[in-house]
Structure 1
Amino acid sequence: MEQRVLETFKYLHKHAELSWEETETTKYIKDLLEKSGCQVTTFDDCTGVIGELGNFNGDLPVVGIRADMDALWQEVNGTFQANHSCGHDAHMSMVLGVLWKLEQEPELLDQIAVKFIFQPAEEKGSGAIKMVEKNVVDDVDYLYGVHLRPDQETKMGRATPVIVHGATKMYDVVIKGEDAHGARPHLNHNAIEIGAQIVNMINQIHLDPRVPHSAKMTNFQAGGKSKNIIPGSATFALDLRAQNNELMDGLEKQVGGIFDSVRNLYDVDLAVTNVDGMGAAKTNEEAISIMGEAIADVLGESYVDEPLVTPGGDDFHFYTIEKPSLKATMLGLGCDLKPGLHHPQMTFNQDALKNGVEILYRAVLNTYGLNK
C-alpha cells in the first residue's frame, strides 16, 4: 500500500497541471476510482472528478474527503513550468490511499458512504465554489481535507486536527496609458513609477496589529524590447492576507482608496480586471474532535498539535461558508517540509504520506463509530 501511494505521488508530481487545466490528472484519477469500484462523476465544463464508495441508499451520513489537484506556474531550475510546490500531488495520493484501504475492507462498505472529491483550481480560489455549484456537497455531512505543513509549523511525526487559515484576496489590475519617447518624460506618466507609488502606499497601510495581515505586489509587467520607450501601460497583481474576514474587508477598503488616489493623482485609467479570493476558516468542534482522535490513534496522543493558526489561505473553507451545516476540518500533516510551501524546490519527507493515509482512514472510521 505504501509503495502504491508513493508511486502515485511520483507520477502526479511529474505530470503537474495548472488550475482549470487538470485534464490528464482528471482522466488518471477517474481511471483509478473506477478500478476501485467507485461510482464516478466528471463534468462537461470543468476539470475535477468525484468518486463514491459504500452505501448511499440508506440513512448513513456522507463523509467527503477532498484533495486539491492543481499545480503552480513557476521557474524551476531556470525553466518556467507547472510545479507541485504546494503538495497537492501528495494530497491526491493520500486520499487515494484512503480509498485503497477501504477497498480492502469489503465488510465495511455497507456501513460507510464516502465521497472522494478531487477538486480543481484551489490555487485560483475558485475550484471549491465550482464544486458547490455542481452540487457535490449537497449530500455531504462531514468533510475532511489535508495539507502538508512547513517544518516551522508542524514537525514530522506530528499533526494538527485543524488548520485555521486566514482570508486571501488576489487582484489582477491594468494600468492603461500612452507610451512616450525616453527623451520626453513630460509627455506621459511612467507606468513603472505608478506601480512603485502603489507599492509605497500599500506599505503604509496600518490596521489592527493584533490580527495578522499583509498586502504586497506579486507581479508587475511593463515595457517591451525597446529601452528608449517610457511605458504608459502595465499589468500587476496584488496578494492580500488577513487572519479574519472582517480585517480583510478593511484591507480591501484601504487598497480601493489607494487605487482611487492614484487615478486622481496621475489621471490614469487603472482597472481591476479580476479578483480571486478565499474566506477565512470556519471551524467545527465535532469534526476537529474526530480528526484529533484519529491522529491520537495513529501517532499517539502526545503527537497531536494544537489548532494551527496560519496566514495561508485555502478555498476548502468555501464549502463551509456556502454550506454552514457542513462539519468540516483540514488535517495539518507534519512532514519535514522545507524550505517552504510554494518554494520551487520544496521537498518533504515522503514517509509522512503513510501517516496521512492512516489518519484520514481512521477519521472516516471514527465518524461512523467503527473500531477496527
Structure 2
Amino acid sequence: MKWNTINQRIQETFTFLHGNAEISWKEHNTTKYVANILKESGCRVTTFDDCTGVIGEFGHFTKGLPIVAIRADMDALWQEVNGVFQANHSCGHDAHMAMVLGLLWALKENPELHDQIAVKFIFQPAEEKSAGALKMVEKGGIDNVDYLFGIHLRPAQETQMGYATPVIVHGATRKYRATIKGHDAHGARPHLNHNAIEIGAQLVDMMNNIHLDPRIPHTVKMTSFHAGGESINIIPGSATFSVDMRAQSNELINQLEKKVQGIFTAISDLYDISISVDEVSGVVAAKTNKEAIGIMKQAIGHSLGAGKIAPPLVTPGGDDFHYYTIKKPALKATMVGLGCNLKPGLHHPAMTFNKTALLNGVKILYHAILQTYGIKK
C-alpha cells in the first residue's frame, strides 16, 4: 500500500476543504469538488437537484454482497474568527471528508479487492442543522445498506492522540428558537407591561430548577436572548431566545422537553403574554450495535495496535448520524472516535488538531472494510 502517497493527497485535500468551507445546505462547491474526485476514482456518482450532498458507489453492487456505507459530513459552522464572521470548519468535517476520500484511494490502490466489496460513500450536508442525515434517508441513501460507519475527531480530553474508540455514544438534543410576545411600555411606567428581560431571567431560573433522574446526564440552558433596541427608555415587552436541551437517552430528552414546555405555559399564563416555539431541531441518542462495534474494534487494533483501543466514549454531544439507525433499525452502525490531540475543543473558532492522525483514521476505515468482508490482507 502506498500510504505515503495517500497521506499526501489526504493532507492536500484537507487543506483545500479547510480553506473553502461552506455552511449547511450551501455546500455547493464542496459537493462539486467531492463529486469530481469520486468520478475520477471510479465511483458511480449521484447528486441531487434540490439539495447539496453526493453519494458514490465503488465495487460490485450486483453480486449480492453486503453493502457498507461510509458517511462523511460536509458543512461548516458560521462563527466569528478573529473578529470576522465566516464559514469555519471547527467541528472537523473537513477532516472527515479527507479521511473518507483517503479510504476510497486506499481501496482503489488494491484492484484485487474491487470485485469483493460494495462500498457506498455518503457525503452528507447539513449535519450542523441536524437535518442532512434525514435528507439522505429521504433520498434512499441507505435503502440497500447493511453496515454504516462514520468517523469523528475527538477532543484531547476525550481520546488521546494515537488512540481511537470503536463507538461514540452520543446523547440526544432538542434545540428551540422561541419568541416572547408582549407590548412595550415607557421606562417611567413599569406597571403597564411585563419586562421581557425579567421574564427571560425567570425562564432561566425555572429551567435551572428542573430535576430529573440524576443517574442519566442531562442539561438545559438558554443560549441566546435578544430584547430591546436603541431607545433606553423603553421597557421591552417582546424578545427572542434559544434553548439547548441535552440528555443521554431518548426517553429522558422527552421528559426534559415536557418540563420546559410546562414552564413556558406557566409563565405565559402568569404574565398574560405569549411564548411561541418558532423552530425545533435536534438529534436522537445513539443506538449501538455490537457487531459493528466489534468490527471497528478489530480494525483499530490492526491499524494502531491492540493497546490503542480506547473504551466506548459516552458524550453529551450529538450527531445526526444516529437518525440513520432510527430510520432503519436493522442497520449495523457505529462511529469511530479518533484521537488527534484536538484543542481547545470542538466548535472553538481556533480549533486545531494533529493532522498526522488523519492517516490513522483512513487505515482504521480501510481495515474495517476488510474485516466486514472477511478479507485477509
Q: What CA distance in whole angstroms lies between the structure 1 residues aligned with 2:273 and 2:204?
A: 17
The one of 253, 256, 263 equivalent to 1:251 is 256
Establish whether residue 182 from structure 1 lines up as the match of residue 187 from structure 2. yes
2:159 is paired with a residue whose SS is coil
Q: Which deviates more, 220-229 or 22-31?
A: 220-229
Q: Which runs of 5+ in 1 are unaligned?
A: none
Residue 17 (structure 1) shift: 1.2
Partner of 1:15: 20
2:303 to 289, 298, 301: 298
Question: 2:44 aligned with 1:39, yes or no?
Answer: yes
Secondary structure of 1:240's counterpart equals strand
1:16-36 Cα distance to aligned partner (Å, 9 max, x none) = 111111111111111111111
Deviation at 1:344, TM superposition (A): 1.1
Could you tell me how far 1:187 is from its partner in structure 2?
Answer: 2.2
Q: Secondary structure at the match of 1:209?
A: coil
The equivalent of 1:219 in structure 2 is 224
What is the CA–CA distance in structure 2 between the aligned matches of 1:207 and 1:12, rounded to whole Å? 42
For residues 228-271 of structure 1, the C-alpha deviation after alignment (integer angstroms, 9 at most, x for no partner) is: 22222211111111001111111011101110011011111110
Q: Helix, strand or coil: the match of 2:104?
A: helix
**Aligned counterpart in structure 1 of residue 277 of structure 2, from 264, 267, 272:** 272
Root-mean-square deviation (Å): 1.0
- Residue identity over aligned pairs, in percent, reads 69
Q: Equivalents in 1 of 2:19, 2:139: separation in Å? A: 29
**2:313 equivalent in structure 1:** 308
Which residue of the partner structure matches residue 124 of structure 1?
129
- Aligned residue for 1:171, secondary structure, equals strand
Structure 2 residue aligned with 1:88, among 85, 89, 93? 93
Taking the TM superposition and a 5 Å limit, the aligned residue runs for 1:36-185 are 36-185=41-190
Give the corresponding residue for 2:336.
Answer: 331
- The match for 2:3 is none
Residue identity matched to 1:252? E
How many aligned positions are there?
372
Q: TM-score, normalised by structure 2?
A: 0.97
Say yes or no: does 1:260 pair with 2:265: yes
Structure 1 window deviating more from structure 2 (86-95 vs 18-27): it is 18-27
> 1:194 maps to which residue?
199
- C-alpha displacement of 1:181: 2.3
Deviation at 1:45, TM superposition (A): 1.2
Q: Tell me, what secondary structure is at the counterpart of 1:170?
A: strand
Structure 1 partner of 2:238: 233
SS at match of 1:173: strand
Q: Give the aligned residue type for 1:192.
A: I
SS of the residue 2:151 aligns to: strand
- The residue type equivalent to 2:242 in the other structure is A
| AA aligned opposite 1:212 | P
Q: Are 2:364 and 1:359 equivalent residues in the alignment?
A: yes
Superposition deviation, residue 315 in structure 1: 0.6
Shifted more, 17-26 versus 280-289: the winner is 17-26
Which amino acid in the other structure matches residue 257 of structure 2?
A: E
Q: Aligned partners of 1:34 and 1:181: how far apart in 2?
A: 64
Q: Which deviations, in whole Å up to 9, do the C-alpha atoms of 1:46-77 show, x marking residues without a partner?
A: 11110111101111000000001111121111
Structure 2 CA distance for aligned equivalents of residues 186 and 18 of structure 1: 45
Query: How far apart in 2 are the matches of 1:340 and 1:27?
Result: 30
The separation in 2 between residues aligned to 1:225 and 1:8, in whole angstroms, is 47
| Cα distance in 2 between the residues matched to 1:342 and 1:169 | 18
Equivalent position amino acid for 2:79 in 1: Q
Structure 2 gaps, min length 5? 1-5
Query: TM-score normalized by structure 1?
Result: 0.98
Name which of 289, 292, 301 aligns with 2:294. Answer: 289
SS at match of 1:65: strand
- Which contiguous aligned blocks of 4+ residues in structure 1 show a shift greater than 4 angstroms? none
Distance 2:243 2:97 in 1: 29
Amino acid at match of 1:204: N
- In structure 2, what is the Cα distance between the partners aligned to 1:192 and 1:46? 39
